[in-house]
Amino acid sequence: MSDAPRVDAVSTRTILVEREEGVVIVTLNRPERKNAGNGIMWQELHDVFVEVARQRSDRVLVLTGAGGEFCSGADIVDPNGLSGDPEDPGIVRMRFLGNVMLALHDLPKPTIAKIRGVAAGAGLSLALGCDLTVAADGARLSGIFARRGLSVDGGASWLLPRLIGLHKAKELVYFAEMISAEQAASIGLVNRVVADSELDAFVDDWARRLAQGPTMALSMTKKLLNNGLNVTIAQALEDEARCQVANSCTDDTAEALRAFAEKREPHFTGH
């Protein structure tokens, strides 16, 4: 598939999409609602996740929020509901949200959540659905569902036990308390905590390094790691073998071997 024309920035009704040198920055842009997700936002996020997955020139995605907040969760007071259609049955609305989270999880490129302010409920699920999570030191996170009389959603039941273990996951969502970024890091909920003033530069560095990496190899590694807890060791070894054979046919692997022989850093093109 050929790439669509590149643009520096596109603003839709609820998100801002910026592209530069293979890095796609998606900013949730409903600051008046602490970036709570309504039906329009979920649809626009789904569409951009699918687009980034297809565009060869898009090599890493960064997800963040406007106005000093990440995402306060689903907008439960929006009369149009999660799917944007008030006539949709509840199960349809929830499956709509599930499709958004699955598109993020399945995106075959590295993803980074850059977290300022609050990440709660479905907003927490959205952050944790990214491959890497970096939080400002003032960020606050919560599996807030129980406080709203709800069970977990957005993939949290799958993500949390894998990230922090079953008992810690239950503690986080049973009590639905707001925890600090430092507490989140101490239990493995986020990868790094940095000073707010350093957050942009830190995530930009990670994103650019990933964008300059071997795109296909990183994509296959992501898939292997995501599947790793669901397969036997024998199946994991077989999956790894098939991926390495495919990698060996790429221009990036050939470039890596030339760079090794020439004692220089490789220049990966994502092909």
CATH of the domain at 236: 1.10.12
Whether residue 121 is predicted with pLDDT greater than 70 in this model: the reply is yes
How many residues belong to the chain? 271
In-domain check, residue 3:
no
| Domain boundary, last residue among 187, 211, 235 | 211
Residues 183 and 168 in one domain: yes
- Summary mean pLDDT of the chain: 94
Whether residue 2 is predicted with pLDDT greater than 60 in this model: the reply is no
In-domain check, residue 130:
yes
Whether residue 86 is predicted with pLDDT greater than 90 in this model: the reply is no
In-domain check, residue 167:
yes
Distance (Å, rounded) from C-alpha 242 to C-alpha 220? 10
Domain that holds residue 40: 9-211
Distance (Å, rounded) from C-alpha 124 to C-alpha 177? 13
Residues 189 and 65 in one domain: yes
Residues 71 and 203 in one domain: yes
In-domain check, residue 71:
yes
Residues 56 and 83 in one domain: yes
Provide mean pLDDT across the span 135-139: 98
Residues 192 and 119 in one domain: yes
Report phi then psi at 220, rounded to 5: -65, -40
Residues 201 and 232 in one domain: no
Residues 87 and 181 in one domain: yes
Residues 28 and 55 in one domain: yes
| Domain boundary, last residue among 170, 190, 211 | 211
Least confidently predicted of 28-32, 60-64, 135-139, 265-269: 265-269
CATH code, domain carrying 133: 3.90.226.10
> Contact, 164 vs 185, CB < 8 A?
no
Is the pTM here over 0.85, yes or no? yes
Whether residue 198 is predicted with pLDDT greater than 80 in this model: the reply is yes
Give which of 239, 226, 209 is closest to 23, Cα–Cα: 209
Residues 252 and 175 in one domain: no
In-domain check, residue 1:
no
| Domain boundary, last residue among 194, 211, 228 | 211
In-domain check, residue 109:
yes
In-domain check, residue 271:
no
Total number of domains constituting the chain: 2
Distance (Å, rounded) from C-alpha 62 to C-alpha 20? 12
Distance (Å, rounded) from C-alpha 62 to C-alpha 169? 25
Residues 143 and 186 in one domain: yes
Residues 50 and 178 in one domain: yes
Long-range contacts of 154-158 (CB under 8 A, 24+ apart): 154/97, 154/98, 154/101, 154/121, 154/122, 154/124, 154/125, 154/126, 154/129, 155/98, 155/101, 155/102, 155/105, 155/125, 155/128, 155/129, 156/124, 156/125, 156/128
Whether residue 125 is predicted with pLDDT greater than 90 in this model: the reply is yes
Provide mean pLDDT across the span 1-29: 80
pLDDT value at residue 8: 66
Provide mean pLDDT across the span 175-195: 97
- What digits encode the pLDDT tens for the residues 255-264? 999 999 999 9
Structure tokens at 239: 């999956």
Residues 198 and 220 in one domain: no
In-domain check, residue 38:
yes
Give which of 32, 24, 71, 31 is closest to 48, Cα–Cα: 24
